[in-house]
Copies of this chain bind each other. A is one copy, B any other.
Amino acid sequence: MRRWVLARRPDGAATVKDFNLETVPVPKIGDGEVLLKTLYLGVAPVMLRYMTNETSFEKPMEIGDVMIGRGVGRVVASRNPGFGIGEVWQAKLGWREFAVIDDDPYYMPFRMRHTDLPLSHGISTLAMSGFTAYIGMHDIGAVTPSDRVLVSGAAGGVGSQAGFIARALGAEHVVGIAGGPEKCRLLTERLGYGAAIDYKIDDISNRLDELFPDGVDVFFDNVGGALLDEVLGRIRRRARVVICGRISEYLLPPDQCHRYRNINCIGLRDAKMESFFVYDYAEHFDTYETQLAEWIRDGRVHPLEDILVGLEQMPTALISLYEGTNAGVRMVRIDPDAERRPAP
C-alpha cells in the first residue's frame, strides 16, 4: 500500500516537496483493531496548519508521520465488535490506501448509515464539511425565514452547501460571494443562491448596497479580512456573524493581516460573531446526518463534489485549494471501485 508522509514543514504555502509518497506493507491488525480500505480522502485548508503544528486540536506531527486527514473507508478486517466487515466508516484515516484504527476517540469514527447515497457524501454533505455548514447556519446562525443571509467563499467546500442549508431552513434571501463569473454562475444556477457577488469584478460595496439595502442578518464567513470588515459595517440588529474560515489570510504573516475598523458594530447592533469547532458538536452528528440525508433525497441539498482520482493526487488536491480555483467539496477517490456496492 502507498501512503503520504510529511517530508518537511511548509514555509508559507505548501509545495509538493513537503510530502513523500512511500510504499509499505498493508498492516496486520491486533486485538481491538480494524482495517479499513480507503475509498475517499478529503482535503481542507486547515491541513496546512496540521503540517506546522499550529492547531490546538490536532496532535503534533513529526517529520515522517503519515499526513493527517479524514476519509471514508470500508471495513475489510476487524478484531473489534464495533466494526463489522463491509461497513462504511468515516474517520481520521490519514493519507493512505489502508488504515488501521481502534476505539481511540482520536480517530473520531462515524459510521455511514445512508449508504444508498453516494459514499463520496461521506467527505462532503454527510461529513464534517456538511455538518460545518449545518452548524453554522442552524446552531450558530439560527437562520429563520425572514433573515437576509450572506455567504463568502460560497463556491467552496463549506460555502457550496451553506446556501442550500440556509434555504432549507426557510431563508428566502440568500446571497453568495465568489471569485469570477464562472463560479458566480454556479452559485445561482447550481448551488441554490438567489444572487451572487463577484469579488474579483464587482464593486462589492455597491453590490451589498443593492442586495442588502437594510443590512445583513446572517453572515457565514469563510474569507475573513477586508471582506469581513466590510460586511460587519452592514450588519443588522441582532445579526449573527459565523466565522467559519479565513482563507484570505491563512498564508499572510500577522503584520499583513487586516486590521478591523467595524468591530464596534457588534456592540452598536447587539450582534454576535462566533466561531466553532465541528467536533464539539459530535453528540448531534447523527441528527445532522439524518437531516442532511433527507434534504439530499428530497432535492433541497445538491452536494457539489470536486473529485480527483488516485492517492498520488493528494498534495496537489490540498495545495490547489489555496489557489481559489476549485468549486464544491474537494476530495480524492482512492479506491477506483469506491461506489461499487458489494453484491447483496
Contacts and interface: CB of A to CB of B under 8 A. Distances in A.
Interface stretch (A31-39, A93-101, A266-274): A266-274
B280 A267 contact: no
Nearest to A228: B263
B266 A275 contact: yes
A275 B280 contact: no
A224 interface: yes
A275 B274 contact: no
A162 B208 CA distance: 39
Given A257-B264, A259-B260, A264-B257, A56 B277 contact: no
Nearest to A260: B260
A271 B264 contact: no
A306 interface: no
A282 to B, nearest CB: 14
B260 A245 contact: no
Contacts of A276: 270
A266 B274 contact: yes
Contact of A267 (B237, B246, B259, B263): B246
Contacts of A172: none
A243 interface: yes
A190 interface: no
A243 B266 contact: yes
A271 B237 CA distance: 20
A313 B275 CA distance: 45
A249 B271 CA distance: 18
Contacts of A267: 224, 243-246, 275
Contacts of A56: 237, 268-269
A67 to B, nearest CB: 22
Interface of A: 56, 224, 228, 237-238, 243-246, 249, 254, 257, 259-261, 263-264, 266-277, 280
